[in-house]
Amino acid sequence: KNEVEQSPQNLTAQEGEFITINCSYSVGISALHWLQQHPGGGIVSLFMLSSGKKKHGRLIATINIQEKHSSLHITASHPRDSAVYICAARRNQFYFGTGTSLTVIP
Amino acid sequence: GAVVSQHPSWVICKSGTSVKIECRSLDFQATTMFWYRQFPKQSLMLMATSNEGSKATYEQGVEKDKFLINHASLTLSTLTVTSAHPEDSSFYICSARDPGLAPVNEQFFGPGTRLTVL
């Protein structure tokens, strides 16, 4: 069993839709990261959070420490949001989820 | 923001040859760098952690004699895949950390290097 589980694995949305990606983890963590991996492979760190909620533009990340669950929301989705979104739980090392492949259709 | 570069971005080599991949922190001093490997449609797997000036710490199952890591300066770490074989074909990603940057323990990822061994 993976320490970090993401759902869904694949997601197709129409432009403008509200998107939610979920992440559950089983290890005790010091922080949880949301990463965005573009088709070429490059990775961008979107959020690092240890409690509550963070917002950056159209992206919102929340975490519930008690339930060991985090969500990434994208409001007013756009085709340029198409990417793989990876949840990573950090303890002494990173535990990566398998990623959610998002495709936003115009 | 902090920038990490990797070179080359892609490389194709013959089986049995060695390949060196560079990871550089461009605008900060990376006391710790991490090397990851990602096979197609799989998640990132940590290979090793390197601290500047000391030997790298390898994850279980990663051959240290095959994947040589050098972190000789605060801005450069290299990963050398020795005697590469087709099963080493993968996407190699580095990340770097500077405890002096806020937030503490944030990691900054490089763009990755795609290795194909023929």
The answer to whether the Cβ–Cβ distance between B114 and A35 falls below 8 Å is: no
Q: Using CB atoms within 10 A of its CB, is residue A57 exposed (0-12), middle (13-18) or buried (19+)?
A: exposed
**Predicted confidence band of residue B105 (pLDDT cuts 50, 70, 90):** low
Taking an 8 Å cut-off on Cβ atoms, the answer to whether A42 and B38 are in contact is: no
For residue B36, pLDDT beyond 60: yes
pLDDT tens-digit readout, A20-61: 999 999 988 888 999 998 887 778 889 989 899 999 999 999
- Strand B10-13 and strand B113-117: pairing? parallel
> What is the Cα–Cα distance from B66 to B83, expressed in whole angstroms?
7
Q: Which of B34, B43, B107 sits opposite A45 (nearest CB)?
A: B107
Band (pLDDT 50/70/90 cuts) for residue B101 is low
CA distances from A30 to A93, A99, B92 (A): 10, 20, 25
Average pLDDT over every residue of B88-102: 84
- Exposure string (b/e) for B87-114, b if CB count within 10 Å is 16 or more? ebbbbbbbbbbbeebeeeebbbbbbbbb
Region of poorest pLDDT, from B11-15, B39-43, B81-85, B103-107: B103-107
For residue A47, give how far its alpha carbon lies from the nearest alpha carbon of chain B (Å). Answer: 10
Q: Which residues of A touch B (CB under 8 A)?
A: 30-31, 33, 35, 40-45, 48, 86, 88, 90, 93-94, 96-99
Q: What is the pLDDT of residue B106?
A: 73
